Amino acid sequence: MKTLLRLRQLKSAALDRMAELNRRAHTESRDLTERETTEYNLKRSFAEDLNGAIGLGELEQEVLESAPAAAPTADDAPPRPNLAERVLAWRIR
């Protein structure tokens, strides 16, 4: 749950920055500079990746909530991070 919230916050920050770049260029009656265009495209790509990770995390959460609880055994391996956490860790590297 916390991971999905963090992913949504990161996506929101990326979208806010994209909007700020557009607003600044519009206010100054100009197109985005090459540097701004590069940053805009990177933020858009990042937001799209986060959108996919959020979707996977939500799906995984639904599956886990609907699955019957299994009784733990002594042989159980330690729990692996969920998919959304793994995507977030990969993306931040």
- Residue 90 zone, left/alpha/beta (φ > 0; ψ -120 to 50; rest): alpha
Please determine, for residue 72, whether its predicted confidence score (pLDDT) is greater than 90.
no
pTM for the predicted model, two decimal places: 0.70
For 37-71, the pLDDT digits (tens) are 999 999 999 999 999 999 988 888 888 888 776 65
